[in-house]
């Protein structure tokens, strides 16, 4: 039997290659991409400017299939959260955050997460598997056109875009699922797909240094780094990946990335934990740590969950902490908590992913990256599990 290709799995170059290998001209790939990603169309017969012979070929050889929606909830503040089924008992969550001048979609890249940060509920459920390109970009594809339908906005490039910004900040570490994440990024940026500016697409990482360097060459988008600590001892406890990639090395990687980034700063995310990382001394240590990095800070009020044993810093403490950073010349914002009534706030994404850490599978994945990208990649699973 001929394999059926899910066209959501193909980035722009891969779709061109797929069409050419089936005897079609390059421009057909651009037409297909526009129908799929600008019109949200999955029915090949509806793609009226394609030759009938090509539509027949597509019907036999291809599909456009995003993950199925398990649940769809809207918060009192307008935040909307979808739970997507990715098979074998796994699900991932996607969150849309509407603002007056933009709409931001928070996308997942893995089912679960292997990094296991102390303050993140997703990490506590373990790691199941990496998502495919179709499962990553499918979140954007499904969300954009569900939002359009709910607001009566026409499909197509002339219809008002509902999602103006995308952040890879959902479940998982995108740099540990590198190729599918980058393929999805390329679709987000392509003018025949979503046409987003590199400044409006942000990848958040806990600090996988070799892949930060690789991203700068392959698809440099805005970068956010989950920092959460002002010294190595504390970060070793909160973000175990730090044992492999300590803060001095991470700051150097951030500086290198800025030579290619679409913005002239790195965003450092910092989850505020009462009595753990929120003292005046911690703030002063941060100022010294980032002195050589052009950056801004986003302070995130912790969203408690039972297994963490951690508490949220008070609003007064967060404001005092922010003031020290601002007095030190660092642009600092305090993230507004959104969607916590539907468990859609930062650090709450857990979905219904089963706790299957699959250590052997994770080790195999790390070994592949080790072979491809050199000894510096390391065996992250040993320090994150």
Catalytic residues: 93, 346
DSSP 129-155: EEPPHHHHHHHHHHHHHHHHHHHTPPS
Q: Which residues contact 179 (CB under 8 A, 6 or more apart)?
A: none
Dihedral-angle region of residue 41 (phi above 0 means left; psi in -120 to 50 means alpha; beta otherwise) = beta
> Cα 254 vs. chain centroid, distance in angstroms?
18
Pairing mode of beta strands 110-112, 90-98: unpaired
CA distance 355 to 114: 11
Pairing mode of beta strands 80-87, 90-98: antiparallel
CA distance 383 to 324: 33
The pair of structure tokens assigned to 347 is 């650090």
Beta-bridge partner residues of 165 = 104
Contact call for residues 166 and 195 (beta carbons, < 8 A):
no
Dihedral-angle region of residue 63 (phi above 0 means left; psi in -120 to 50 means alpha; beta otherwise) = beta
Q: Is 56 in a helix, a strand, or coil?
A: helix
The pair of structure tokens assigned to 31 is 């037409």
Supply φ then ψ for residue 344, to 5 degrees. -110, 5
């Amino acid at each position: 039997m001929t394999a059926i290709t899910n066209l959501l799995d193909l980035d722009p170059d891969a779709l061109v290659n797929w069409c050419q290998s089936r005897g079609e001209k390059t421009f057909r790939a651009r037409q297909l991409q526009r129908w799929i990603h600008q019109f949200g169309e999955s029915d090949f017969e509806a793609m009226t400017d394609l030759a009938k012979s090509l539509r027949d070929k597509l019907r036999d050889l291809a599909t456009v299939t995003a993950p199925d929606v398990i649940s769809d909830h809207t918060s009192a503040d307008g935040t909307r959260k979808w739970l997507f089924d990715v098979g074998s008992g796994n699900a991932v969550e996607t969150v849309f955050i509407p603002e007056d001048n933009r709409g931001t979609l928070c996308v997942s890249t893995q089912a679960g997460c292997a990094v296991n940060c102390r303050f993140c509920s997703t990490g506590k459920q373990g790691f199941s598997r990496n998502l495919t390109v179709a499962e990553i970009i499918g979140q954007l594809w499904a969300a954009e056109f569900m939002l359009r339908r709910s607001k009566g906005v026409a499909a197509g490039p002339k219809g008002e875009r509902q999602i103006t910004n995308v952040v890879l900040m959902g479940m998982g570490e995108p740099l540990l699922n590198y190729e599918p994440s980058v393929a999805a990024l390329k679709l987000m940026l392509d003018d025949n797909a979503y046409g987003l500016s590199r400044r409006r697409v942000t990848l958040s990482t806990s600090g996988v240094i070799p892949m930060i360097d690789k991203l700068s060459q392959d698809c440099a988008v805005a970068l956010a780094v989950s920092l959460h600590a002002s010294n190595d001892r504390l970060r070793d406890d909160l973000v175990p990946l730090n044992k492999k990639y300590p803060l001095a090395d991470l700051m150097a990687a951030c500086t290198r990335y800025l030579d290619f980034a679409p913005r002239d700063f790195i965003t450092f995310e910092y989850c505020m934990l009462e009595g753990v990382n929120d003292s005046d001394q911690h703030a002063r240590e941060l100022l010294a740590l980032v002195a050589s990095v052009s950056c801004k800070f986003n302070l995130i009020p912790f969203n408690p969950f039972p297994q963490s044993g951690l508490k949220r810093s008070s609003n007064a403490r967060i404001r005092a902490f922010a003031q020290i950073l601002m007095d030190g010349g660092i642009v600092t914002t305090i993230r507004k908590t959104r969607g916590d009534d539907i468990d859609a706030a930062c650090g709450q994404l857990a979905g219904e992913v089963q706790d299957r850490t699959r250590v052997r599978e994770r080790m195999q994945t790390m070994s592949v990256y080790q072979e491809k990208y050199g000894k510096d990649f390391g065996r992250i699973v040993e320090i994150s599990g």
